[in-house]
Structure 1
Amino acid sequence: MKVGALLTSAGINIGLCILFLSFYSVLRKQPQNVKVYFGRRIAEQHKRLRGAFILERFVPSPSWIVRSLQCTEDEIVSTAGLDAVVFNRVLVFSIRIFSLAAILCLFGVLPLNYFGQDMQHEQIPSASLETFTIGNMKEKSIWLWVHCVVLYIISGVACFLLYMEYKHIARLRLLHLVRTTTNRSQFTVLVRGIPKSTHESFNSAVESFFTSYHAPSYLSHQVVYKVGKLQKIVTGAKKVYRKFKHFKGTTVDQTCRSVTYRCCLCGVSSNSFQLLPTEEQEREKPCVKNSNLNLPAEECAAAFVFFKTRYAALIVSKILQTSNPMKWVTSLAPEPKDMV
């Protein structure tokens, strides 16, 4: 591959980036796209959008890039949230590593590779990329140590910057948790796959398990019950079935007679009958009103477990509770609005 082809490819990519940035600078200013690019700000301020025609909306402007570079981390956190700050820090880390590698390679490695052998060099646009690689160096050259030094410098700086970025993001995370209001879901763990036992209910199983293994941090729990629309229909059907069981074995009165209702010139005839229980069943049948027809809600093999600290809830949600990964599966509880 020639250097000129590489420069041409780089020029095409740079041109496409400039074109896409221009499209973005135009689209972000359109009234119909404001909800996409500024949804959080609109949700907080509740401002109405104006649909007046303004020529400036259709002219690309790089001023937003300058304003974005001037924003502080506190402003980004208040406007876009902590995730935007983390993404911004990742970009900054990448730019730093790329800048360091570019400086060391352009002024240290590439000249050594290019003049590594005594040869007639062509002009750079027509030269091959192999002349800029380590393969162009002489065997047992005394300048090979430069490549190793540059590699160690880039690796060491990358590890140091990763440590600093992780430390900085962890501090921002802690500050964000301290400043925000306490959420109940941060102290709650969703437990699934509770093993079914014939000796005790799910409620008792959850209480005995967490009081045995997490007694210092365990607070309380709430078992999940089947209370959906389908479960209501099934429960109603069970209640109706139990009611009809009391009327099992009833007999039909054989002395049915035809009753005719007349209204002027038209009439409808119908046969009336009634269900009469036998005397023996009348004595044995208990009173329906006094019978207990309220069925208890059916428990699910899942529960919400509450802990005293957020750290304890996080640890329980991450560790494996038993040797069987399909039982006592724990995870952080979702937000209350996300649960059905």
Structure 2
Amino acid sequence: MIVSALATAVGVNLGLTVLLVSAYSLLRRRPPFVSVYAPRRPYAPLESWLAAAWRRSEDDIHAAAGLDGVVFVRIFVFSIRLFAVVAVVGVGVLMPINFMGDQLQLIDFTDLPSKSVDVLSISNVQDGSNKLWLHFSAVYIITGVACYLLYYEYRYISGKRLEYFMTSKPLPQYFTVLVRAIPITDGGSVSDAVDKFFKEYHSSTYLSHTVVHQTGKLRRLLNETEIMWTKLKNLKYVPQRPSTDNPPKKFLGLFGRNNPIGKYQKRLEDLEENVRMEQSDATRRQSHCQSIGYWVSSQCHSSLPFLLCALNNEAIFDHARICVCQWD
């Protein structure tokens, strides 16, 4: 790679970064994007949000975005720390050594933009030179720093996660397992079979259960209904011609005016009928999937964590094992 090409790549990336940051700073104030971000001060300086975001502490991020937001930010922190070490070792140690090598011809600084940057790489170090040991040492140093930073971030995030679970209130989902492939007896339902089994074999830990139905088709119909309703609602902002008794006419069914309001209303009626039919089928259909809840006292939860495991292959009555294990 020649110097001019490297400078062009750096300039393009910096230009795109400035362009995207400026576009976000301007577009976030526009009314169509209020649902994404509604600033309290629409006429504040463009760079104000950058300074405010930089000053936010980790506790602020945890309160606003939760533990997942903190982990996401820690990824950037890890990257900055690692590349800072790489930059110091590469620019401060390796590049001067490479530049002082004599493997390649000397550079004519009068035509520097058209020259290659290979003189700054390991290619300019003489074969068999003792300076190559610095490159090997740099590789081991960077690898060791990367492993240490990974271990440090893992220990830090694991501590945050354990702290979150130990300080939070006991919630039912902490003591819930998912059970599949439940056999149905003649004349009974899935709910009755689950309730009878766990009351008989796990009466001390069983609290309740909830049937989870497979309603993917119903969810798709509801989403499509919401989209149609949004389109129909947006039509009130579009000027419409006065309605007449005669419907819009088309030539050969291809050309002519169309009535979008009537089209969307008809589509909404069809979707409503499909939703009702799917709801009726869902109430009659029992899914082979249960969510089982266990009761654990708050005293035990605050002192020792518990492990809830469900190991099932085919049928819960034959292969599933549901247990509450205490960690010492």
> Would the aligned equivalents of 1:73 and 1:85 in 2 still touch at CA under 8 Å?
yes
Match of 2:309 in 1: 316
Is there any run of 5+ residues in structure 2 with no aligned partner, and where?
216-275, 323-328
Q: 1:218 to 1:147 in 2, by over 3 A?
A: farther
Distance 2:131 2:115 in 1: 22
Match of 2:211 in 1: 224
Cα deviation, 1:18-63, whole Å, max 9, x if unaligned, reads 111111122223344343136xxx9xxxxxx89xxx6x36x6x223
Q: 1:179 to 1:36 in 2, by over 3 A?
A: farther
Deviation at 1:132, TM superposition (A): 2.6
Q: 1:144 to 1:196 in 2, by over 3 A?
A: farther
Distance 1:227 1:105 in 2: 56
Deviation at 1:204, TM superposition (A): 4.3
Deviation at 1:221, TM superposition (A): 4.8
Alignment RMSD, CA only?
Answer: 4.1
Distance 2:34 2:67 in 1: 21
Match of 2:93 in 1: 108
State the one-letter code of the partner of 2:206.
Answer: L
Match of 1:146 in 2: 134
**Greater displacement, 65-74 / 100-109:** 65-74
> Would the aligned equivalents of 2:199 and 2:206 in 1 still touch at CA under 8 Å?
no
Deviation at 1:180, TM superposition (A): 4.3
Deviation at 1:95, TM superposition (A): 0.8
Matched, 1:155 2:143: yes
State the one-letter code of the partner of 1:170.
Answer: S
1:76 pairs with 40, 61, 67, which one?
61
Match of 2:106 in 1: 120
Relative to the length of structure 1, the TM-score reads 0.59
Match of 2:268 in 1: none
- 3-state SS of paired residue (1:35): coil
> Would the aligned equivalents of 1:223 and 1:299 in 2 still touch at CA under 8 Å?
no
> Would the aligned equivalents of 1:223 and 1:303 in 2 still touch at CA under 8 Å?
yes
**Greater displacement, 140-149 / 112-121:** 112-121
Distance 1:104 1:323 in 2: 57
Distance 2:59 2:35 in 1: 23
Match of 1:66 in 2: 51
Aligned residues: 248
Distance 2:212 2:135 in 1: 65
Q: Percent identity?
A: 32
Match of 1:129 in 2: 117
Cα deviation, 1:76-109, whole Å, max 9, x if unaligned, reads 2222332222211111111111111011001111
Deviation at 1:159, TM superposition (A): 1.3
Deviation at 1:217, TM superposition (A): 8.9
**Greater displacement, 135-144 / 90-99:** 135-144
Q: 1:30 to 1:193 in 2, by over 3 A?
A: same
Q: 1:234 to 1:136 in 2, by over 3 A?
A: closer
Distance 1:115 1:74 in 2: 48
Match of 1:267 in 2: none
